[in-house]
């Protein structure tokens, strides 16, 4: 126990503090939107998950990250568990809004996708770090594609286009960082374009097409498929510089803003806390990203560098896409604002990833 408390004195308290402040920011917005919904269940569950997440982060940070790199079977077993968890959704998960994406246990929903994101990052950090001088070999690209491709296919079939696209982009970026040849990268881009063209005609559901169309032309159906992004932009504009005040946002409190606790929590924050609140939120994000980037720069081997790069990219992608959705710059694909949006699975996965980062900082 004394060793653990000594460890706590050595961790990067800047990461712990910044991540905690972002989550508290999210909790305050959840509480406010719960007033309008007259239901504080999500706020209470998120508060509990936050406490669990912080302890999970600190616990993982105490374990030497080299154990993940050196064990030949542990990461593969975690990957297999994730694949079975994703496959089990088709049998065991209830259908919610046409998607089988969550296990329901009492009043709690469990999303295995968030678990799989972190497992893939650690697994690929190990795989690429051992083969970084051989990334010109096509078999390494193909095998890494199998590790990513099976979960991506299962996620796409739920159907969950947003998370499938996120993991696809993450795989390609990790390949680029690991040093694949430019011509291999070009081939991947061409294949991605062909798959998208095929998917639009054959695989995409009508509601997924509607989301892309509403992004391109929201004014075509402002009371239908374009409603969410139109109301999001109105909410952001209502906030002005100082915001309408805690619990006073008209779009948020009167139900005009859809999903103010998940997809559109950024708009809810902008409406009630204004431009100043948004600036504070973005400063916290940039501070956390700077801390991550610094850990990656100071890493002494390829495994921690690749994990930090992958986790930072994952974080940036989710931040960029969520804010872009709220501003009407990107289609709605259901990605949460990291550490802020409601969602216990996402929160725990991100804090677990931060725990690995802290372990890299302390044990390197």
| pLDDT on residue 223 | 52
pLDDT-based confidence at 214, cuts 50/70/90?
low
| pLDDT on residue 358 | 95
Could you say which DSSP state residue 71 is in? -
Please say whether the dihedral angle defined by the alpha carbons of residues 27, 29, 35 and 41, taken in this order, is positive or negative. negative
What CA–CA distance (Å, rounded) separates 329 from 277? Answer: 20
Whether the predicted pLDDT of 211 surpasses 90: no
Q: Is the Cβ–Cβ distance between 27 and 46 less than 8 Å?
A: yes
Whether the predicted pLDDT of 275 surpasses 90: yes
- Find the range with the poorest average confidence among 221-225, 248-252, 294-298: 221-225
Residue 333 CB partners (closer than 8 Å, separation 6+): 161, 162, 165, 211, 321, 325
| pLDDT on residue 209 | 57
| pLDDT on residue 50 | 97
What CA–CA distance (Å, rounded) separates 119 from 107? Answer: 26
Q: Is the Cβ–Cβ distance between 89 and 151 less than 8 Å?
A: no
Region 261-276: mean pLDDT is 95
Each residue's pLDDT tens digit, 45-61: 999 999 999 999 999 99
| pLDDT on residue 344 | 94
| pLDDT on residue 314 | 95
Each residue's pLDDT tens digit, 10-59: 888 999 999 999 999 999 999 999 998 889 999 999 999 999 999 999 99
Residue 318 CB partners (closer than 8 Å, separation 6+): 166, 335, 336, 337, 338
Tell me how many helices (H) and strands (E) the chain has: 15, 2
- Domain range holding 236? 2-363
Region 111-138: mean pLDDT is 86
| pLDDT on residue 219 | 52
Whether the predicted pLDDT of 215 surpasses 60: no
For the chain, the domain total comes to: 1
Could you say which DSSP state residue 96 is in? B
Each residue's pLDDT tens digit, 295-310: 999 988 889 999 999 9
What is the share, in percent, of the chain residues with pLDDT greater than 90? 55
- Find the range with the poorest average confidence among 152-156, 209-213, 327-331: 209-213
- From the list 127, 177, 132, the residue with the least C-alpha distance to 147 is 127
pLDDT-based confidence at 200, cuts 50/70/90?
low
| pLDDT on residue 137 | 74
What is the share, in percent, of the chain residues with pLDDT greater than 70? 88
| pLDDT on residue 284 | 97
Structure tokens at 258: 């859809």
Whether the predicted pLDDT of 206 surpasses 70: no
Please say whether the dihedral angle defined by the alpha carbons of residues 8, 343, 127 and 130, taken in this order, is positive or negative. negative
Indicate the average pLDDT of the chain.
87
Each residue's pLDDT tens digit, 68-104: 888 878 999 999 999 999 999 999 888 877 777 889 9
Structure tokens at 139: 């078999």
| pLDDT on residue 16 | 95
């Amino acid at each position: 126990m004394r060793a653990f408390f000594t460890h706590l004195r050595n961790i990067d308290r800047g990461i712990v503090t910044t991540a905690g402040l972002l989550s508290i920011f999210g909790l305050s917005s959840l509480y406010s939107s719960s007033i309008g919904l007259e239901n504080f269940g999500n706020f209470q569950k998120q508060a509990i998950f936050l406490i669990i997440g912080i302890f999970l982060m600190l616990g993982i940070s105490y374990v030497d990250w080299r154990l993940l790199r050196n064990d030949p079977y542990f990461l593969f077993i975690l990957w297999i568990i994730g694949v079975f968890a994703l496959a089990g959704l088709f049998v065991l998960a209830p259908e919610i809004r046409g998607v089988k994406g969550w296990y329901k246990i009492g009043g709690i929903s469990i999303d295995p996708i968030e678990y799989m994101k972190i497992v893939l990052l650690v697994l690929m950090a190990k795989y690429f770090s051992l083969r970084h001088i051989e990334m010109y070999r096509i078999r390494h690209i193909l095998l890494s594609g199998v590790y990513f491709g099976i979960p991506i296919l299962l996620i796409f079939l739920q159907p969950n286009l947003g998370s499938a696209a996120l993991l696809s982009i993450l795989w390609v970026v990790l390949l680029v960082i690991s040093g694949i040849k430019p011509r291999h990268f070009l081939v991947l881009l061409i294949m991605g374009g062909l798959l998208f063209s095929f998917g639009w005609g054959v695989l995409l559901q009508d509601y997924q097409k509607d989301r892309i169309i509403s992004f391109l032309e929201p004014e075509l159906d402002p009371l239908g498929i374009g409603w969410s992004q139109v109301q999001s932009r109105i909410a952001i504009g209502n906030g002005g510089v100082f915001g309408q005040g805690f619990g006073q946002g008209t779009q948020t409190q009167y139900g005009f803003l859809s999903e103010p606790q998940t997809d559109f929590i950024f708009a809810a924050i902008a409406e009630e806390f204004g431009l100043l609140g948004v600036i504070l939120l973005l400063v916290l994000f940039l501070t956390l990203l700077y801390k991550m980037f610094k850990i990656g720069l100071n890493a002494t081997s390829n495994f921690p560098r690749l994990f930090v790069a992958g986790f930072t990219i994952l974080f940036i992608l989710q931040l960029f896409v969520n804010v872009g959705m709220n501003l009407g710059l990107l289609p709605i694909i259901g990605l949460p604002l990291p550490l802020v949006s409601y969602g216990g699975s996402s929160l725990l996965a991100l804090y677990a990833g931060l725990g690995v980062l802290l372990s890299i900082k302390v044990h390197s």
